[in-house]
Structure 1
Amino acid sequence: MTPNRLPRDETDLVVPAPLSGRTAVVTGGSGGIGSAIVRALAGQGASVAVVDTDGRAEAVAEEVGGVPVIADLTEAGAPARIVDRVLARTGSIDMLVNAAGIQVRTPAVDIAAEDWDRLLSVNLTGAYRLVQAATKALAAAGGSIVNIVSLSADRAVAGIVPYGATKAGLVQLTRGLAVELGPLGIRANAVAPGYVTTPMTAAVLDQPEFRDRVLSRIPLGRLAESGDVADVVAFLVSDAARYVTGAVLPVDGGYSIT
């Protein structure tokens, strides 16, 4: 990655990118928010392992010069294989971003058993197992974990109650990891996006009445873009956030305070 260059007193000073020399693992790395996180971290000099379940991971990895890892976190042994592949290619894991997530829209009492199990497996258990597999490498690097949660983790949203339950579990996991892994030099934080324009939210945000109702509660007056979330993640994994752990940062334009 080419370092940023800033002129000063007619002398060209080389300013290293803030994440230069570090390796990030991003799950859900070809999704709307995940791919934005990949690009943001790579743009700050990180080598990024793009983890997802299909070939889209290869396209995103190629775009940023990263490492594609096609894997399903719900499969036994997948977290260990991901860690082994990344370490073999890069030698370290400095940052782990759990952005993989799925959503099922249905009344809570009507959700099919297999959908409930899949939500838990992807949104919570997969993140937990990958943290387990990566802890040794993260400790060696003095690393950082960022989990992508949701505003629905602490508020009841009709139609996505099971999804919110998995994200609430991920919030508590984040806080617990901050306590237990802090002595190892590992920080753990979460980012809670509000309404972001992604393929996952298109079905509801494309409905004019719903969209207008949401916008009426956002003080900043617009929906979030994936890059708004990605930039906060880049901050949390950087040295600028070196004394921040156990935090859950809302990225919602003020929606949660209205």
Structure 2
Amino acid sequence: MTSSQDPAPSPPPAAAAQLWGRTALVTGGSGGIGSAIVRALAEQGATVAVVDADERARGIAAEVGGTGVVADLTEPDVAQRIVDQVVSETGSLDVLVNAAGIQVRTPAIDISPQAWEHLVAVNLTAAYRLTQAAVKPLAAARGSIVNVVSLSSDRAVAGIVPYGATKAGLLQLTKGLAVELGPQGIRVNAVAPGYVVTPMTAEKLADPEFRERVMSRIPLGRLADGDDVADVISFLVSDAARYVTGAVVPVDGGYSIT
């Protein structure tokens, strides 16, 4: 227990505390990329609210001294409840990272109506609703939004066309929101990861032929991990990127240029 006479905690060195005193909300925070984002933002000094449908969100939040929120982002009213809870507990919201995402591997004409609607609800609609709910506190903080899109946002990839369509929608939403929210002081950017080793990609990358084909197109000669994506997001939400908005940053080792 501390007393009123105890000195306030000192922030860590500036190089390691770009987000000191700020609050970040990360959806999909228990996933392979999402959990890396949570840890990276916490290391920069942010208080992080970890949102996911998976109960692991609470454990990851506990690791970084944040708040874990287990929620189904497809529910219409859940976005406002999450934002209200985070602002009530922390007093502000400075950063929103929409990293929640699912993938359905099937030919586009074979996807069921239910699977299509769920894909759109998680990958696109949830990010839109959270942004709507977060605009006021983000404007007050002159904050930042980062959406996690995909290399398939602007190219056709057989077998995941519906997934690519949702990510293309999120990419366009990013650019449009950057224009509309810029006057309120809110920056909106996106990262487009390439092939990242996560539970979502594990099965596909375990195929030796597929893996070799992917590796042959990556100039840096390796697959990505969650930290490679998280570090770029840490930059985009920091003051170092204060004049960057509407950008879509590929984090793919050069895959998209080959």
Q: Does 1:18 align with 2:29?
A: no
Hey, what does 1:232 align to over in structure 2? 232
What is the distance in 1 between the residues matched to 2:233 and 2:100? 14
Q: Deviation string for 1:206-236 (max 9, x for gaps)?
A: 1111001100000000000110000000000
Q: Does 1:142 align with 2:142?
A: yes
Change (3 A) 1:82 1:249: same
Q: Structure 2 stretches of 5 or more lacking a match? A: 1-8
1:3: how far off?
Answer: 4.3
Hey, what does 2:171 align to over in structure 1? 171
What is the distance in 1 between the residues matched to 2:146 and 2:169? 14
Change (3 A) 1:106 1:142: same
Question: Is residue 16–residue 43 contact of structure 2 (8 Å, CA) maintained in 1?
Answer: no
Q: Deviation string for 1:132-151 (max 9, x for gaps)?
A: 00000100000000000000
AA of the residue aligned to 1:225: D
AA of the residue aligned to 1:233: I
Hey, what does 1:250 align to over in structure 2? 250
**Corresponding residue SS for 1:88:** helix
Q: Deviation string for 1:57-89 (max 9, x for gaps)?
A: 100000000011111110021001000110111
Percent same amino acid at aligned positions? 74
What is the distance in 1 between the residues matched to 2:209 and 2:43? 37
Question: Is residue 149–residue 170 contact of structure 1 (8 Å, CA) maintained in 2?
Answer: yes
* Stretches of 4+ aligned residues off by more than 6 angstroms: none
Question: Is residue 29–residue 50 contact of structure 2 (8 Å, CA) maintained in 1?
Answer: yes
1:2: how far off?
Answer: 7.2
AA of the residue aligned to 2:124: L
AA of the residue aligned to 1:88: S
Hey, what does 1:160 align to over in structure 2? 160
Q: Does 1:109 align with 2:115?
A: no
AA of the residue aligned to 2:94: D
**Corresponding residue SS for 2:74:** coil
- Taking only aligned residues, the RMSD between alpha carbons, in angstroms, comes to 1.2
Q: Structure 1 stretches of 5 or more lacking a match? A: 6-13
Hey, what does 1:56 align to over in structure 2? 56
TM-score by length of 1: 0.95
